[in-house]
């Protein structure tokens, strides 16, 4: 069996262009699907896939690890830059899909699973609709509470909110108290039995991240995400030591070495590797083994398209340390129209059971994708009150 060609299909989903990767083999009808979505970097990822294809065309797609080594290590530059790592991830996901299809088993079986009967999903407030999740001001605590109630009504037992505002490197009480009021309103709205996660989106400096972590401690968060930039590993560790709230991070890290440094510093309780950025399932499985050694749980980052979700779920059905899966369902109304998926979601509990379809259990419907061609992603930019640049 040989790889004939590697294509990308771009599907504009407002804030993101989903980049689907299609690996075509010389076996009639045998193709693999992957996803390499990287918001605001669509054109460069598509080009990176094209560059990598030069290495792979003519190779046996079933030698997944061997091809991963080629993609990561050849052409001199290692694959850890975010654009190349995302392109590698998309191809790697598709190669595992091909292997599963060839052997007639779902990917989680290739990886030794299933290790659990179901996976719990959590949603973004508003189901991932850009205006609801990313653009509701933290000062609108009542709106956060209303969206939280809606998530629970939709069957979710866990949700995530961006309840920490863009914050200058040092500020007084105002943003901290606004965040605390916001989380208090959500907790009052849903009670103690629903899990609430807060994503700081690495907006705060280490000093402000510490203040937010302390202020939100009383509300029993399931985890507090990216309280400061992941590069500040020691500061993350300091925040983690100061609170009982589990600290989550890792969505911007690629390859095993960044995770090694993060875990070794004791900087997080929850690893949010992204299977479409970290180097694909091949890298994710190594990172998961490392996380296991450090007692760090897995809750992968997954706000992208439906192939990313399928791959993340397959990974979750093979990983003992996997605790919950991020999901969005309302970013665009036609989300489910561009794919056929084998995973079935129980709408009353928002849990997913393993499927028995070969490969990832997802097929991209190319004619449907063509109805949503590339468009420039909607910009999301942050400036502080003095006009200086902040983190989104
Ligand atoms: Mg995040």
Could you read off the pLDDT of 291-330 as tens digits, one per residue? 999 999 999 999 999 999 999 999 999 999 999 999 999 9
pLDDT band at residue 75 under the 50/70/90 scheme: confident
Choose, from 108, 124, 277, 301, the residue flagged as catalytic.
301
Give the pLDDT of residue 211.
98
Same domain, 114 and 152: yes
Active site residue 329: no
User: Which domain, by its residues, includes 212?
Assistant: 110-359
Could you read off the pLDDT of 199-221 as tens digits, one per residue? 999 999 999 999 999 999 999 99
Please tell me the distance from the alpha carbon of residue 44 to that of residue 70, in angstroms, as a whole number. 20
Give the pLDDT of residue 133.
84
Q: Tell me, yes or no, whether 388 lies in a domain.
A: no
Measured in Å, residue 299 CA sits from the centre of ligand 1 at 11
> Is the pLDDT assigned to residue 67 strictly greater than 90?
yes
Q: Tell me, yes or no, whether 382 lies in a domain.
A: no
Residue 173 CB coordination number (10 Å) = 10
pTM over cut 0.95: yes
Measured in Å, residue 383 CA sits from the centre of ligand 1 at 19
Q: Tell me, yes or no, whether 279 lies in a domain.
A: yes
Q: Tell me, yes or no, whether 368 lies in a domain.
A: no
With 0-12 / 13-18 / 19 or more C-beta atoms within 10 angstroms meaning exposed / middle / buried, residue 385 is exposed
Q: Are 136 and 180 a contacting pair, CB within 8 Å?
A: no
Measured in Å, residue 339 CA sits from the centre of ligand 1 at 25
Mean pLDDT of 87-116: 98
Same domain, 99 and 167: no
Active site residue 301: yes
* Number of domains, the chain: 2
Choose, from 124, 201, 343, 372, the residue flagged as catalytic.
201
Please tell me the distance from the alpha carbon of residue 362 to that of residue 162, in angstroms, as a whole number. 30
Measured in Å, residue 391 CA sits from the centre of ligand 1 at 12
């Amino acid at each position: 069996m040989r790889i004939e060609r590697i294509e990308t299909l771009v599907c504009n989903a407002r804030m993101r262009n989903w980049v689907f990767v299609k690996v075509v083999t010389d076996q009639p009808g045998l193709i693999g699907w992957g996803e390499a979505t990287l918001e605001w970097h669509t054109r460069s990822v598509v080009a990176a896939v094209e560059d990598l294809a030069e290495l792979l065309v003519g190779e046996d797609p079933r030698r997944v690890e061997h091809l991963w080594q080629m993609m990561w290590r050849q052409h001199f530059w290692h694959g850890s830059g975010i654009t190349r790592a995302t392109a590698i991830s998309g191809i790697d996901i598709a190669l595992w899909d091909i292997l599963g299809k060839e052997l007639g088993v779902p990917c989680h079986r290739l990886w030794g699973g299933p290790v659990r009967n179901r996976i719990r999903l959590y949603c973004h407030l508003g189901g991932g609709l850009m205006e609801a999740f990313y653009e509701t001001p933290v000062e609108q605590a009542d709106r956060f509470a209303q969206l939280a109630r809606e998530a629970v009504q939709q069957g979710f037992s866990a949700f995530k909110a961006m309840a920490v505002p863009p914050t200058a490197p040092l500020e007084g009480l105002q943003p901290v108290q606004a965040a605390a009021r916001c989380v208090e309103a959500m907790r009052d709205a849903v009670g103690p039995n629903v899990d609430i996660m807060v994503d700081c989106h690495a907006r705060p400096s280490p000093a402000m991240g510490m203040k937010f972590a302390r202020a939100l401690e009383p509300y029993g968060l399931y985890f507090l995400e990216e309280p400061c930039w992941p590069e500040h590993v020691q500061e993350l560790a300091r925040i983690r030591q100061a609170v009982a709230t589990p600290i989550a991070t890792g969505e911007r890290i690629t390859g095993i070495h960044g995770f090694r440094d993060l875990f070794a510093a004791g900087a997080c309780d929850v690893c949010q590797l992204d299977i479409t950025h970290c180097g694909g399932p091949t890298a994710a499985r190594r990172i998961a083994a490392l996380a296991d050694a450090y007692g760090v749980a897995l809750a992968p980052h997954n706000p992208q398209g439906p192939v990313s979700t399928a791959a993340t779920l397959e990974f979750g059905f093979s990983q003992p340390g996997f605790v919950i899966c991020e999901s969005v369902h309302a970013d665009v109304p036609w989300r489910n129209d561009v794919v056929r998926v084998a995973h079935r979601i129980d709408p009353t509990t928002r849990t997913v059971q393993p499927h028995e379809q070969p490969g990832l259990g997802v097929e991209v419907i190319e004619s449907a994708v063509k109805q949503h061609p590339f468009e420039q992603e909607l910009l999301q930019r942050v400036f502080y009150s003095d006009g200086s640049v902040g983190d989104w």
